[in-house]
Chains A and B, each alone.
Chain A
Amino acid sequence: MATTAPAPARTAPAAAGRAAAPAARRRRAVSYPSWMLWPAFAALLVFFLVPTLLNFVYAFTDWSAFKQGFGFVGTQNFQRLFADGSLLSSLRVTLVWALLVALLQNGLGFVLALLLEGDTRVNRGARIVFFLPVLLSPLAVGYVFQALLRPDGALNGVLGALTGSDVSIAWLGSTTWTIVVVSVVQAWKWMGLSMLIFMAGLKTMPTDVLEAARIDGASWWRTLWSVRFPLLAPAVTFNVATALLGSMNGFDTATALTNGGPARSTELLNIFIFRTFGQGLYAQATTMSLVLFLTVVIVALPVILYLRRRENVL
């Protein structure tokens, strides 16, 4: 039995020097008991994997709050959501928002990491301040900025005081620009996390490479773009991936800030799902949930894989 085993990388150094390999191997096979795996995987199966598979079933039914049982209707839900424009509009809103959040959150986080890199007391304090929003509930953040951005809110008040005239910009009232405002708020909430991760990346850089760049007379900017930024690849991967995935699943900030408005111009897929579920249209909500799933698989996964490959090249 032991001799026919594929004997893959038994690289544990202790095992390598041991003569009685077959006995050790047989013992190893039972020494990590399967029963320790099952409870965790049972939770995953029941509450994650089964619902994910059911999603592929119920998206093709007419399941709703208004009738008993359900029947299969083929791709009718997709067709209807496509025909009334909700599918493309929610999808576009979600993608624009995810892209904007990923760019803003990481751009701001990167600038903050560079600014607060030095280990001074002021910087240490500022890092804590910029991390505070990460701890707040996204829903609460949404309400805070709703108050700040109202036409008669604090921001217009400050702008009015600065310009000496009455300012009443409807920050949350534009069907074109409000999605940008909402993305900025989401980026504000999470930029402290990006900052910390970029900072950790900057601090674990091999010092000899940086030393070499300095000796060669590279300027601060040159070192930043040609040496330090490429070396940050793992941190970039992590930050872009978490920002993209997190914001594609976004809901709370936008709900509290705009509730999807004006005219559904900030209605993310999850807000649509929440609204249609509330109306009892379960099958439509499930269909949108499947759209979200497929979008993540189609859009986010290749991005993550690309960034991963880039890490290896560098």
Chain B
Amino acid sequence: MTATPATLAAPAARAARRPARARRPGGPGSGRRTAGRVLHDVLVVLLAAVVVGVPLWLVLVTASKTTAEAARPDLSLPTELALGDNLRQVISQGEVLLALGGSLLVTVPAVVLLLVLGSAASWVLARRTGRWNAVLYTVGISSIVLPPAVITTVLTVRSLGLQGTAVGMVGVYTGMFMGTVIFFVTGFVRNLPIELEEAARLDGTTPFQLFTRIVLPMLRPVIATAAILTTLSIWNEVFYTFFVLGGGDTTTLPLNLYKVASAAQYVNNWNLIFAYVVLMSLPMIVVFAVAQRRIISGVTSGAVK
């Protein structure tokens, strides 16, 4: 199919919704349909409450308990509200602010580099033809499928003198996720009409101006998608930070969570571990709350091509 990613989730989906509802089971009688609908809603609410609600509830109540009460984590309400104390303790002793700084220092430059370099390359890859271009594109997107070689990546970072630094981590993430960005943006550019670019060319615009003034503004939806996917992946990534940042001064929120949860003074201090989890998850949940529609259409756009 040749639908552009942006059209997939929003308008097409909305157009298809009405018949989907008409097909719902429940028989012809309108009384049965409403009864079925109520049953369906009750089932959905129960399922959401048990499957997702219970684990999240456990996090919230445990993060609000005192250490003694949280030693055996259960679903009961705290007898004494200690959330503020727990958050303060985690922030002062758990190096949360340092880790937050590190997470930002790694995530922001990596995502910016991925988007800037990736979209420039994708435009050229999408518009050029020929065998070499096809080979380059295949190499470009190979990192989506092939697992990165973690130990030799560390070796490379080390030999560049970047071990334990945010710069090294940014480089590793840029290499790891470049394929994803190239895949999304190239697919999107291929579905853009070329006429607009050609008209601008006749006016004597240089290729670079053409890219920044004409092409880049049209890429906004797919860049948003790629930004969301890479930010989410990098923000929560921990495996590579162990290897690249381990032993250095820079730390990130997940890396620090591991340290905090493994440290002797925190073992079984579930209230502090979960207070940390609350703090660490907030940024992504806030971003999701703000850009919910964008994220859902962005996440789904890659799948249904």
> Which residues of chain A have a CB within 8 Å of any CB of chain B?
6, 8-10, 12-14, 27, 30-34, 36-37, 39-41, 43-44, 46-52, 54-55, 58, 115-120, 122-123, 125-140, 143-145, 147-148, 150, 152-154, 157-158, 188, 193, 196-197, 199-205, 207, 210-211, 214, 220, 223, 234-235, 238-239, 245, 248-249, 251-252, 255-256, 270, 273-274, 277, 282, 285-286, 289-290, 292-293, 296-297, 300-301, 304
Contacts and interface: CB of A to CB of B under 8 A. Distances in A.
B17 A119 contact: yes
A150 B268 CA distance: 11
Contact of A207 (B19, B127, B171): B19
B174 interface: yes
B184 interface: no
B52 interface: yes
Contact of A201 (B140, B157, B303): B303
Interface string B9-44: 100110011011101110000000000010011011
Interface residues of B, number: 110
Contacts of B175: 43-44, 46-48
A9 B133 CA distance: 14
13 contacts: A33-B124, A33-B208, A39-B121, A40-B118, A40-B120, A52-B148, A115-B44, A130-B48, A143-B261, A147-B270, A201-B303, A293-B146, A293-B149
A48 B148 CA distance: 6
B44 A116 contact: yes
A126 B48 contact: yes
A296 B58 contact: no
A140 B280 contact: yes
Given A145-B55, A152-B72, A204-B8, 13 more contacts: A36-B208, A48-B179, A58-B152, A118-B20, A131-B288, A136-B281, A147-B270, A200-B9, A200-B301, A200-B303, A238-B304, A293-B149, A301-B145
Contacts of B235: 137
Nearest to A220: B25
B45 A122 contact: yes
Given A33-B207, A41-B140, A205 B16 contact: yes
B303 A58 contact: no
A270 B20 contact: no
Interface of B: 3, 8-9, 12-13, 16-17, 19-21, 23-25, 37, 40-41, 43-45, 47-48, 51-56, 58-59, 62, 72-75, 113, 117-118, 120-121, 123-125, 127-130, 136, 139-140, 143-153, 155-157, 160, 171-172, 174-176, 178-179, 182, 194-195, 198, 201, 207-208, 210-211, 232, 235-236, 238-239, 242-243, 253-254, 257-258, 261, 270, 273-274, 277, 280-281, 284-285, 288, 292, 296, 299-305
